[in-house]
Amino acid sequence: MENKRPLFLVTNDDGIDAGGIRALVDMVSDLGRVVVVAPDGPRSGQSCALTVSRPLRLTYVGGEGDVSYYKTDGTPVDCVKLAINELLGGRPDLILSGINHGSNTAISTIYSGTMGAAYEGSVIGVPSAGFSLCTHELEPDFGCCRNMVRRTVSALLVSGLPDSVCLNINIPYKCDIKGVRLSRQALGYWTEEYEKRTDPRGQAYYWVTGRFVNTEPDAEDTDSWAVANGYISVVPTACDRTALSSFPAVKNLLSLT
């Protein structure tokens, strides 16, 4: 008899050994079957990168009951593509990415591998969400994400999402959560980004570092504001990057008719 329980593809960018992905699986495994396909180590900052210059490996790691774990030597997007093409024989019901260790608000969403995997889901028409816990504490308790994860999964199973849209969900840490706010991506950029060092042979090398400058810290409709003020932020996020509102300006710029 065919198993009718929904199928969740779970991935992340912190790697298969990260606490956040194990926590995410625990939070949803009673709601459906779970296939985890995650990178074999950290892939933070991998955005929507996919691996084209070398082949990939896909390795079964273990499993129990309706949960199975695989790892790849690729990016989060590679994980989703490999899972759907080589493991699942088709599309899962949902793609869940995370729980990321650290926030993915504001411009971080464009660099985030957690969100890369969620974008990939939205490209192929699978309702997808990335979850991030906003803390850099070394061993955080992901349990505070449980209610929001289950609420999101239940809602996505019933209603799906608009075409080409996925959810970017950021959850504040260790505070009395005031509620859930539908938000837009805050504007801003990273600055003072490198620490320059000299190696033992006298050659320079550069570690990325820096700090985020929020250029609209008081905008209450942004994800950064929501999380800083004790709310869970939900940003509906598009894989269509077309900036429709700028069409008149660009038409004028290039003297197009």
Identify the residue among 136, 174, 178, 251 touching a second copy (CB under 8 A). 251
Q: Coil, strand, or helix at residue 130?
A: strand
Please name which of 32, 11, 15, 211 lies closest in space to residue 131, comparing C-alpha atoms: 11
- Which residue stretch of 1-9, 24-32, 105-113, 130-138 sits at the interface with a second copy (rule: CB under 8 A)? 105-113
Please, what is the minimum distance in Å from the beta carbon of residue 115 to a second copy?
8
Q: Residue 10 or residue 48: which is nearer to a second copy going by CB? A: 48
* Lookup: tokens for 211: 């700090």
Please name which of 65, 63, 64, 9 lies closest in space to residue 38, comparing C-alpha atoms: 9
Per rule CB under 8 A, count of chain residues that contact a second copy = 84
Please name which of 194, 148, 64, 167 lies closest in space to residue 109, comparing C-alpha atoms: 167
* Lookup: tokens for 234: 């939900």
Site string for a second copy, 15-54 (x = CB under 8 A): ---------------------------x-xxxxxxxxxx-
- Which residue stretch of 19-27, 28-36, 133-141, 204-212 sits at the interface with a second copy (rule: CB under 8 A)? 204-212
Distance CA 244, CA 189 (A): 22
Q: Residue 59 or residue 143: which is nearer to a second copy going by CB? A: 59
> Does 207 interact with a second copy (rule: CB under 8 A)?
yes
Identify the residue among 152, 170, 224, 233 touching a second copy (CB under 8 A). 152
Distance CA 55, CA 48 (A): 17
